Amino acid sequence: MKTNTSYGDSGFSHFIRMAFQRHLGYDEQDFDKPVIGICNTFSEINRCHSHIQPMVDAIKQGVIMAGGIPLEFPTISIGEMFTSPTTMLYRNLAAMDTEEMITAQPIDGVVLIGGCDKMTPAQLMGAASANKPAIMFTGGPMNNGEYNGKTLGACSDCRFFWQEYKAGTVSEEEINEINAQLAPTAGHCMVMGSASTMAACSEALGMMLPGGAAAPATVHERMRLAKETGKAIVRLVQEHIRPSDIMTEKAFDNAIRTLMAVGGSSNAVIHLIAIARRLGIGLTLDRFEALSQTTPFIANLRPAGEYQMQDFYYAGGVPAVLKELSPLLHLDELTVTGKTLKDNLKDVQSKPHYSHIIKSLKAPLYPNGGIAVLRGNLAPDGAIIKPKAVIDKKLLKHKGQAVVFTSIEDMEQRIHDPDLEVTPDSILVLQHAGPVGAPGMPEAGMLPIPQKLLKQGVRDMLRLSDCRMSGTAFGTVVLHIAPEAAVGGPIGLVKDGDWIELDAERGSLELLVSEEELTRRKESWSPPQFTDTGYKWLYRRHVLQADQGCDFDFHFPRERVGG
């Protein structure tokens, strides 16, 4: 086993390590074989990973078949639904755990087991910094749910039907029946939310085997992929292929184009910036904007389109999208197959029966991508919007007066108050919900429509915040406003009644308040005081803003091990 564990006397150190290798059932010569760590994120609380053990076993079989020794180890496992206050607070902790365990342990390569929203980016961040051979595998999406003949998807329909319930168009009995069908099988959320998006981006980056993103958790294809993943990591070790050889600047372009083509989650913007930063690649919002403008939106997937991951799988999944995008991609990029993207796509056939799910570049769903970048005096360092997920398209060019909520708690207390002074043209502004302010930038950006407006038939309003929204959410929602309120960003200076103007096509977001007045407000602003200890103390002091990926400021690309 290649390890430097030291007890001060090298002879004794070797002697004691040998004793414990034998304790594991191995002799020294066994460890001439590649040792493959399986970063097992099984958790009964993270239900998106609660089914992965048979897949882990299949990965181990693949490793053994290829001549390696698989050794499982645990890391933090975080699931969206049961982590307080938000998983994003712990993405960086999971990335540190992953990096340090890959680095510290005597393994030659590692299989990362992702799935739920933050796990895939956290593991790619950790693997990027550790820079030992690595491959991503996910537990796969859930099958479609169904209610009264209509397809259900978590969690777009969680939000849609809850809104209708609050509006009074869905009964108590119906909402309970729907609730029982929203998460019908093992797997992660089955729309093109953050989990599916980061799986698709992993595949496009070259870090996951072709077809690895879309195969549902329940199909036998996923077990085959698991076994092949085990074989592939041994090959990567033998050929000395590291994450930095695969996740190049051009590979990130491929991932961003894929994000735009599938109408993926806005969260991927933050995650891709963070992963790239670990490798010394400076991804900017401008790069996302440029690639969004030149990438047709071709995958008809919810929340922006009509279909879900199970349908996408049958339509050919990410390989079919990449094949269609080929003229726009860097095809010479290396992938975890040990071959280039071009080689991987050579035998991918188009499936005409599924042209309603994966469109062509010539006849796309929309001519450009699913995420637009906004700037202006309200977002000097940028903000983003998903124009294709907007319900009321006229809100993409809108001027209205602010109704301000100073925190998530304030919003929860007052949003449905019958006395709240709000009209359909108002702009709902949520402050202090960013990386530092909340902390952890929760997915609260899709502010609920006030119930009194829901009952009048209103289903969309312009909403602004310094937080995120789930990749499964929808509406005219401006997110990731930077700098955030808690560090003195202009969003924290907005007051009730201020006029705000959004022009998504021009990419502008302006607070229509005079410079003098803004200067006055800024002078009377003081930073919020926090009383955290431990990890939250560390997080609040070191987390970067959304436009920089929300990683910690002390993570620099370091000299790569042996690279």
Q: Say how many C-beta atoms besides its own lie within 10 A of residue 376's C-beta.
A: 20
Spatial separation of the C-alpha atoms in residues 226 and 212, rounded to whole Å: 9
Nearer to ligand FES among residue 189 and residue 315 (C-beta): 189
Q: Confirm if 225 and 61 have CB atoms less than 8 A apart.
A: no
Query: Is residue 79 a contact point for ligand FES (CB under 6 A)?
Result: yes
Nearer to ligand FES among residue 470 and residue 545 (C-beta): 470
Query: Is residue 302 a contact point for ligand FES (CB under 6 A)?
Result: no
Spatial separation of the C-alpha atoms in residues 14 and 30, rounded to whole Å: 15
Spatial separation of the C-alpha atoms in residues 51 and 223, rounded to whole Å: 12
Closest distance between ligand FES and the C-beta of residue 81, in Å? 5
Spatial separation of the C-alpha atoms in residues 7 and 503, rounded to whole Å: 64
The strands making up 134-138's β-sheet, listed across from edge to edge, are: 69-74, 35-40, 109-114, 134-138
Residue whose structure tokens are 């006849």: 363
Query: Is residue 189 a contact point for ligand FES (CB under 6 A)?
Result: yes
Nearer to ligand FES among residue 41 and residue 248 (C-beta): 41
Strand partners, 376: 379
Query: Is residue 264 a contact point for ligand FES (CB under 6 A)?
Result: no
Query: Is residue 76 a contact point for ligand FES (CB under 6 A)?
Result: no
CA atoms within 13 A on the CB side of 489: 31
Task: Pick from 80, 108, 498, 551 the residue near ligand FES by CB under 6 A.
Answer: 80
What are the DSSP calls for 269-336, one per residue?
A: HHHHHHHHHHTT----HHHHHHHHHTS-B-B-BTTTSSB-HHHHHHTTHHHHHHHHHGGGS-TT-B-T
Q: Convert residues 17-56 into a mask of x (bound to ligand FES by CB under 6 A) and - (unbound).
A: -------------------------------x--------
Spatial separation of the C-alpha atoms in residues 91 and 488, rounded to whole Å: 24
Closest distance between ligand FES and the C-beta of residue 470, in Å? 8
Stretches 73-81, 229-237, 258-266, 368-376: which one binds ligand FES (CB under 6 A)?
A: 73-81
Spatial separation of the C-alpha atoms in residues 475 and 168, rounded to whole Å: 19
Nearer to ligand FES among residue 199 and residue 207 (C-beta): 199
Task: Pick from 63, 95, 116, 233 the residue near ligand FES by CB under 6 A.
Answer: 116
Strand partners, 465: 430
Q: Say how many C-beta atoms besides its own lie within 10 A of residue 393's C-beta.
A: 12
Nearer to ligand FES among residue 82 and residue 537 (C-beta): 82
Spatial separation of the C-alpha atoms in residues 534 and 483, rounded to whole Å: 24
Stretches 76-84, 124-132, 224-232, 432-440: which one binds ligand FES (CB under 6 A)?
A: 76-84
Stretches 74-82, 274-282, 288-296, 400-408: which one binds ligand FES (CB under 6 A)?
A: 74-82
Closest distance between ligand FES and the C-beta of residue 19, in Å? 42
What are the DSSP calls for 441-494, one per residue?
A: --S--SPPPPHHHHTTT----EEEESS---TT--SSEEE--SS-GGGT-GGGG-
**DSSP assigned state of 37:** E
Stretches 77-85, 254-262, 386-394, 431-439: which one binds ligand FES (CB under 6 A)?
A: 77-85
Spatial separation of the C-alpha atoms in residues 390 and 504, rounded to whole Å: 11
Residue whose structure tokens are 């000097």: 380
- Residues 6 or more apart from 440 whose CB is under 8 A from it? 85, 86, 87, 88, 89, 90, 539
Task: Pick from 188, 222, 235, 468 the residue near ligand FES by CB under 6 A.
Answer: 188
Closest distance between ligand FES and the C-beta of residue 79, in Å? 5
Stretches 75-83, 232-240, 265-273, 519-527: which one binds ligand FES (CB under 6 A)?
A: 75-83
Q: Confirm if 1 and 17 have CB atoms less than 8 A apart.
A: yes
Closest distance between ligand FES and the C-beta of residue 188, in Å? 4
Stretches 187-195, 204-212, 263-271, 460-468: which one binds ligand FES (CB under 6 A)?
A: 187-195
Closest distance between ligand FES and the C-beta of residue 46, in Å? 7
Task: Pick from 97, 108, 117, 443 the residue near ligand FES by CB under 6 A.
Answer: 117
Closest distance between ligand FES and the C-beta of residue 139, in Å? 9
Closest distance between ligand FES and the C-beta of residue 194, in Å? 7
Closest distance between ligand FES and the C-beta of residue 116, in Å? 3
Task: Pick from 64, 81, 175, 420 the residue near ligand FES by CB under 6 A.
Answer: 81
Question: How far from each other are the two terminal CA atoms of the chain, in whole angstroms?
Answer: 21
State which of positions 356-395 bind ligand FES (CB under 6 A).
none
Stretches 79-87, 123-131, 290-298, 392-400: which one binds ligand FES (CB under 6 A)?
A: 79-87
Closest distance between ligand FES and the C-beta of residue 552, in Å? 24
Closest distance between ligand FES and the C-beta of residue 50, in Å? 10
Closest distance between ligand FES and the C-beta of residue 467, in Å? 17
CA 385 to each of CA 135, 147, 354, 389, 557: distance values in angstroms, whole numbers, following the listed order: 31, 30, 29, 9, 29
Task: List interacting residues with ligand FES (CB under 6 A).
Answer: 48, 79-81, 116-117, 188-189, 195
